[in-house]
């Protein structure tokens, strides 16, 4: 696709929602270290995780809006010989593919059309919110267009930006299984054969916990949950193995045998 990725040297975990819950200043510092490392390269920062995307973007805007916080973060970074000037643009890989490459250019590269595959494109919350982001915060369309450029059919999915519960699955499994159930139900009743996601945590909740939802709500969902990158890769001719599709707990083997 003409995109070259350079891994940020020695990046650290951005801290995600747990760190922001525990300590405001240090959580900003954790993000700022990554931003400082990225700033040295002069490139945009790209992540394939919605939580990293929101956390790093949030740090950028907090530092802009709150001079006192900025001063403290600068001091803490200086203790480690780092500095951040606020110049890094934080982007999600989905947005890069949609905006920089574009669905038309992707369509031109398709080797194996996913004709007839019905997908529910699940954006989740943190890729579109808080807005303004790269698409509508409640009813985004851009990744539906991307899926269609691969030949797939994006089914109507009213809950496409409803929350999957995120890391609350660990302390509050019962509550979060209810949220996941609603998502699976919405996708299935609209005729989806699989769910497409842009976030590792959404993937884990919808895929790994699908069996527990079935047990709790006496349902029989068998919806494979694929990353949007896997869907694109499949259409561009890469093998399931290269794409790690067999790592999904709900098997996509039968569904995708139509396209091999």
Partner 1 sequence: MEIFLAILLALAIFIGVPALVGLLITVSVVRYNRYQTARAKRALTNDTGFLAEVASIPGGEGVYQCIQCGTCTGSCPNANEMQYSPRKIIAMVRAGMRKEVLSSDTMWYCASCYLCTERCPRGVPVTELMYGLKQLAYRSGFRSGPTAEPVMNRAFVDLINRNGRVHEVSLMLRYYLQSKPLAILKMAPIGLKMFLRGRMPLRPHAIEGTEQLSAIIAKAHALEAARATVEVSR
Stretch that binds partner 1, among 97-105, 172-180, 217-225, 230-238 (CB under 8 A): 172-180
Q: Which of 97, 147, 154, 179 binds partner 1 (CB under 8 A)?
A: 179
**CA angle, residues 52, 55, 59, in degrees to nearest 5:** 135
What's the min distance (Å) between Cβ of 76 and partner 1?
Answer: 4
Residues 119-138 that bind partner 1 (CB under 8 A): 125-126, 129-131, 137-138
48 binds partner 1, rule: CB under 8 A: no
* Residue 34 CA from chain centroid, whole number: 18
Q: Which of 43, 208, 236, 238 binds partner 1 (CB under 8 A)?
A: 208
For β-strands 194-197 and 90-92, DSSP reports them as unpaired
Residues 13-32 that bind partner 1 (CB under 8 A): 13, 15-26, 29-30
Nearer to partner 1, 100 or 185 (CB): 185
209 binds partner 1, rule: CB under 8 A: yes
163 binds partner 1, rule: CB under 8 A: yes
66 binds partner 1, rule: CB under 8 A: yes
166 binds partner 1, rule: CB under 8 A: yes
| Cα distance between residue 8 and residue 41, in whole Å | 8
Q: Which of 79, 108, 220, 260 binds partner 1 (CB under 8 A)?
A: 79
Stretch that binds partner 1, among 5-13, 89-97, 220-228, 231-239 (CB under 8 A): 5-13
> SS3 for 195?
strand
Radius of gyration over every alpha carbon of the chain, rounded to an integer in angstroms: 19
Spatial CA neighbour of 28 closest among 79, 80, 81, 84: 84
For β-strands 153-154 and 194-197, DSSP reports them as unpaired
What b/e sequence results for 219-234 when a residue is b if at least 16 CB atoms lie within 10 Å of its CB, and e otherwise? eebbbbbbbbbbbbbb
Stretch that binds partner 1, among 109-117, 189-197, 216-224, 247-255 (CB under 8 A): 247-255
| Cα distance between residue 111 and residue 14, in whole Å | 37
Residue 176 in contact with residue 168, Cβ under 8 Å?
A: yes
242 binds partner 1, rule: CB under 8 A: no
CB neighbours of 9 closer than 8 A, spacing ≥ 6? 37
- Main-chain phi, psi angles of 86, to 5 degrees: 85, 15
Q: Name the site residues for partner 1 (rule: CB under 8 A).
A: 10-13, 15-26, 29-30, 33, 54, 62, 65-66, 69, 72, 75-82, 125-126, 129-131, 137-138, 161-163, 165-168, 170-172, 175, 179, 208-209, 212, 246-249
């Amino acid at each position: 696709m003409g995109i070259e990725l350079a891994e940020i040297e020695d990046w650290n975990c951005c801290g995600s929602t747990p760190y922001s819950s525990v300590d405001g200043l240090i959580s900003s510092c954790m993000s700022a270290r990554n931003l400082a490392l990225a700033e040295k390269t002069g490139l945009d920062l790209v992540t394939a995780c919605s939580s990293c995307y929101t956390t790093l973007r949030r740090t950028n805007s907090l530092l802009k809006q709150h001079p006192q916080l900025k001063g403290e973060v600068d001091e803490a970074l200086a203790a480690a010989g780092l500095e951040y000037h606020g110049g890094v643009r934080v982007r999600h890989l989905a947005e890069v593919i949609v905006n920089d490459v574009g669905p038309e250019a992707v369509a031109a590269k398709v080797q194996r059309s996913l004709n007839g595959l019905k997908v529910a494109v699940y954006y989740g919350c943190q890729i579109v919110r808080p807005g303004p982001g790269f698409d509508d915060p409640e009813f985004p369309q851009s990744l539906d267009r991307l899926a269609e450029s691969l030949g797939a059919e994006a089914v109507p999915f009213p809950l496409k930006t409803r929350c999957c519960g995120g890391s609350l699955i660990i302390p509050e499994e019962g509550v979060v299984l209810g949220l996941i159930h609603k998502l699976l139900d919405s996708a299935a009743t609209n005729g989806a054969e699989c769910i497409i996601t842009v976030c590792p945590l959404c993937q884990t909740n919808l895929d790994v916990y699908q069996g527990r939802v079935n047990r709790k709500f006496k349902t029989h969902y068998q919806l494979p949950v694929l990353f949007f990158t896997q869907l694109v890769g499949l259409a561009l001719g890469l093998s399931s193995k290269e794409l790690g599709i067999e790592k999904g707990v709900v098997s996509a083997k039968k569904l995708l045998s139509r396209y091999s």
